[in-house]
Structure 1
Amino acid sequence: MNIKFVVVGKLKEKYFKQGIAEYAKRLSRFCKFSIVEVPDEKAPENLSQAEMDQVMAAEGERILSKIKDREYVYALAILGKERSSEEFAKELKDLTTYGHSDITFVIGGSLGLTPAVLKRADAQISFGRFTLPHQLMRLVLTEQVYRAFMINEGSPYHK
């Protein structure tokens, strides 16, 4: 199984990198895990709606260029469906059972995802209505993917 994150922007904070590296190492026994970073657009404060749309469109094109047709895509979106960790684990297990071995998660930039990216997604997932920095979201998502594998294995990690 291949798990890939397509994310906008570079991760600068050492503590996020360390946390993600730890979970990536743990995930290596379950799947091939990778993170693909696409450049973010410079977006100064006080952009007009047209300028925001332009920034999102450029980032969206970069995201879509990193997704292959066969990949099952989750877009992280505040209005996406919320799941419990157990529901998420079952969903991942069911996907692999039904032949989806390439699963991609998309985390947009600070302005979010374009309709084109959301349309390409097979599912939208939300971690609640909180706004979280996308760098932190990478760490949270990595941990939740690891937790899903541990739940499916029957490990006490989840307790």
Structure 2
Amino acid sequence: MSTYTTEVTTETGSGNSFVIQTPLAAFVKERLAELEIRQSVFCRRNTFDQGLLSKIQNSQVNSLTIESVLKLAVGLGVPPQHLFKLIDRLDLHDLVIQTYAREFSEVLVTHLEAESHELAQEAQKALSTAFPEVDPPSIRIRRKRTPASATYQKNGDSLLKVGI
């Protein structure tokens, strides 16, 4: 069950049909219009899949990979957190931040050591407070069903299926 709620906009389709527009679709369309950039140009500049962008804009896709979210964020010039929120996957944003926070703190402290040992210690303390070593955030894993593999056992000249 989704905990993220938003208003859904509608646009009139052909005849009496209505298309429900996802928040992501509305945002992407609006942002591309603000940037005054066509879909094909955006995709070429940002090495973004044009078919995927079309599906996003037509509300056919609302589930994206981390790579797609990051490329879309860079191309649209928005923080990735905004897009993760629109697709109700802030847990992935937290995971990315947590991963890079540790790496960033190590790089920062290493570079500050050359300038001032005291400053490096203060930075390390502040970063440790901001990003304590905690259990990984809970991620909603989307498992794909895989067919059960069968084991075969030789019985004379034939093979028998053992277990399922």
The one of the two structures with greater contact order (alpha-carbon pairs below 8 A, sep at least 6) is 1
Which is greater in Rg? 2
Write 1 or 2 for the structure with the bigger share of helix.
2
TM-score of the two chains, using structure 2 as the length reference: 0.18
